């Protein structure tokens, strides 16, 4: 990996870079690398990262009794039948 020094960064740009880096949870160096790669078309697009929210309304809706019933079915289906697998 190469190192590169950038001179002539004015205080406003330095402050903006620091704020953006902190807001995104990155170091200033990582933020600058990401911005350069994206601007130059070198940023790899992530595949299969689409989020779906069509079933969000179901989250957290089971009662404790429903959960235990469903978990019981899952546990029963997970049992290995020794007679079949001999």
Whether the CB-CB separation of 25 and 36 falls below 8 Å is answered with no
- Residue 28 carries which DSSP code? H
Tokens at 52, concatenated:
């779906």
Q: How confident is the model at residue 11 (pLDDT cuts 50, 70, 90)?
A: very high
pTM score of the predicted model: 0.51
What pLDDT sits at residue 25? 95
With tokens 């004015």, the residue in question is 10
Say whether pLDDT at 80 is over 80: yes
Mean pLDDT of 30-44: 91
- Residue 48 carries which DSSP code? S
Mean pLDDT of 12-23: 96
Q: Which residues are CB-neighbours of 24 under 8 A, at least 6 positions away? A: 31
């Amino acid at each position: 990996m190469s190192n590169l020094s950038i001179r002539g960064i004015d205080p406003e740009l330095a402050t903006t870079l620091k704020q953006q880096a902190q807001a995104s949870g990155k170091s200033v160096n990582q933020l600058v690398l990401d911005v350069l790669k994206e601007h130059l078309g070198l940023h790899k697009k992530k595949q299969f990262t689409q989020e779906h929210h069509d079933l969000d309304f179901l989250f957290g809706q089971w009662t404790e009794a429903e959960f235990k019933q469903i978990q019981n079915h899952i546990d029963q289906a997970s049992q290995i039948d020794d007679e079949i697998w001999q």
